[in-house]
Structure 1
């Protein structure tokens, strides 16, 4: 997530890039069960973006903003290709197996735009960390009500980063990727806190019930 963005023409090693993308999902606090359950008890995550990284995110977003509807659809199509279980959180199109048909879904397009709107608001609040934290925290709380578990949040960030690389082309550099990774790590951690805060307040262990529901499913037979 030469270059007006970084001033660097460094060509990225595809292998290293893949390793970094994997680490975005695997190295987060959601990697272990205890990390999930402690999400509410941890101190708020710090936004570890330097001023230079904030500028990289803002400049790259100016380019991406011109095509956010398409980016939103690409992100979710990629998400369902790589993690089909995520479709269970979307009752409007969970039963659509044809990805080409899904691309034309107005519901998917609308949801993609909502997610892009959240990213846009996050970018606009990079200099207002309190407001950014509140935005992500409240979104995490609402995702408890949507029954969308925290492990899915990381997947969206990973797919966003992969989807925007071909759009930004030479403007995408290792520095830009690192900045977006850092932002998404913060957003995911803050949303996770909001999810578990709402779960605790409700007295319902939704995380456990969702895992049990997934374990009870039998694979579709052809």
Structure 2
């Protein structure tokens, strides 16, 4: 990610995450587009939604600190491997994440903001998959 992309992610994250609707919209979108992933998440998503938002906020908050950012993602990758997450699952998750951001940000979702969040997710995916492989 470029410094400009980092700044755009940081500038839009609060607007995207405020109100507590992000996780619900994300999971609704994910399960609508990839229903086969639903089995990985159990029946009650209440605690998972909170954990997801806390993790996402931690990642965004650490994006300017590469060592911390990478460490969080490597750990997440190892955890997700134990939960049965396969590399093929990262695509639908990314699509749901970006579509949810676009939906919530509305007019603030510019091409530059889209590119910034896409770059962030690409970095997240790369580091998580490294962690899952035990690198």
2:90 is the alignment partner of 1:160: no
Which structure has the greater CA radius of gyration? Answer: 1
Query: How many angstroms does 1:51 deviate by?
Result: 1.1
- State the secondary structure of the residue aligned to 2:48: helix
Structure 1, gaps ≥5 residues long: 1-48, 94-106, 199-222
Mapping of residues 65-144 of structure 1, within 5 Å = 65-67=17-19, 69-90=20-41, 92-93=42-43, 107-144=44-81
TM-score, reference length from structure 2: 0.92
- In the other structure, the counterpart of 2:109 is 172
8 Å contact from structure 1 (residues 140, 191) kept in 2: yes
Structure 2, gaps ≥5 residues long: none
8 Å contact from structure 1 (residues 125, 131) kept in 2: yes
- In the other structure, the counterpart of 2:83 is 146
- Matching residue within 43, 46, 54 for 2:6: 54
In 2: Cα distance, 1:55 partner to 1:152 partner: 28
Query: How many angstroms does 1:120 deviate by?
Result: 0.9
Query: How many angstroms does 1:80 deviate by?
Result: 0.9
User: Which of structures 1 and 2 has the larger relative contact order (alpha carbons within 8 angstroms, sep 6+)?
Assistant: 2
8 Å contact from structure 1 (residues 140, 192) kept in 2: yes
Query: How many angstroms does 1:63 deviate by?
Result: 0.7
In 1: Cα distance, 2:61 partner to 2:26 partner: 21
TM-score, reference length from structure 1: 0.57
Mapping of residues 6-85 of structure 1, within 5 Å = 49-67=1-19, 69-85=20-36
8 Å contact from structure 1 (residues 150, 195) kept in 2: no
Bigger fraction of residues in helix? 2
Query: How many angstroms does 1:88 deviate by?
Result: 2.3
Runs (4 or more) in structure 1 with deviation over 2 Å come to none
Query: How many angstroms does 1:134 deviate by?
Result: 0.6
What is the RMSD of the two structures over their aligned residues, measured on CA atoms?
A: 1.5
